[in-house]
Amino acid sequence: MPYGLTTAHIAGAMTDFLNFLRLVNTRLHAEKIPRLESIMMSANFSSLVGEFMNAGIPKFCKTLVKNKHFNGHPDMIPAGMFPNDKAQHATEGIEIKASRYDKGWQGHNAEDTWLMVFIYESNRTTDYEANPKPFQFLGVVGERLIKNDWLFSGRSDTSRRTITASVKPSGYAKMAANWIYKVPGLKTQKNPGKSKPAL
């Protein structure tokens, strides 16, 4: 991993998130309110996980900082490399994503960047609160991708969907080969092709 980042730093941030979720859900349960992951829209909850990692990793890894530029890219940049630790767009740093899916990851732009994805499972708003399952990190993968590892997803003339770029099989293969954490039994595909997300 780049910029002095270690598995211990990532594990520290992941543990902090699990503690955060436990504290919040314990309080919500006491007030007879559904758990956080059962309240939030799926995309918003994924953003919460990703933003927590983005803010949490620099707490343990002092060679990285959260990018202080509003909507700056990437999410984390090397400490002291840019004035005031702000970069509107840079090729140095780490972009963070969180996803319920073990492939099919998307971004807004095709970038030359180091991408790290936190894969997890949890309940959704459509699940019954009577059948809860605990939040669990399933894996973490990461690698430096180039623009050719991304594919822009088009849209029809009538669609209002935000145009996004998806990680191609070439990018997925790089990241899956460089797994950082995975639960026992989690399998990464060597040739994912064009199949849909499976988790």
pLDDT tens-digit series, residues 127-186? 766 777 889 999 999 999 888 887 866 555 555 455 677 888 888 899 889 999 998 876
pLDDT at 7 over 50: yes
List b or e across 43-76, with b for residues whose CB sees 16 or more CB atoms inside 10 angstroms.
Answer: eebbebbbebbbebbbebbeebbbbebeebbbbb
What whole-number percentage of the chain has pLDDT above 90? 57
> By CB neighbour count within 10 A (0-12 exposed, 13-18 middle, 19+ buried), where does 181 fall?
middle
pLDDT for position 117: 94
For the ranges 43-57, 90-104, 160-174, the lowest mean pLDDT is seen at: 160-174
Average of per-residue pLDDT values in the chain:
85
If you average pLDDT over residues 26-53, what whole number do you get?
Answer: 93
CA distance 98 to 85: 23
CA distance 157 to 5: 43
- Confidence category of residue 80, pLDDT binned at 50, 70, 90: very high
At residue 187, φ and ψ (nearest 5 deg) are -105, 135
Could you tell me which residue, 85 or 38, shows the higher pLDDT?
A: 85
pLDDT for position 113: 85
> By CB neighbour count within 10 A (0-12 exposed, 13-18 middle, 19+ buried), where does 114 fall?
buried
pLDDT for position 190: 45
CA distance 96 to 140: 10
Q: Helix count (H) and strand count (E) of the chain?
A: 4, 9
pLDDT for position 78: 97
- Residue whose C-alpha is closest to residue 153's, from 103, 97, 98, 106: 106
**pLDDT tens string 111-129:** 788 999 999 999 888 776 6
Check if the beta carbon of residue 43 is closer than 8 Å to that of residue 87.
no
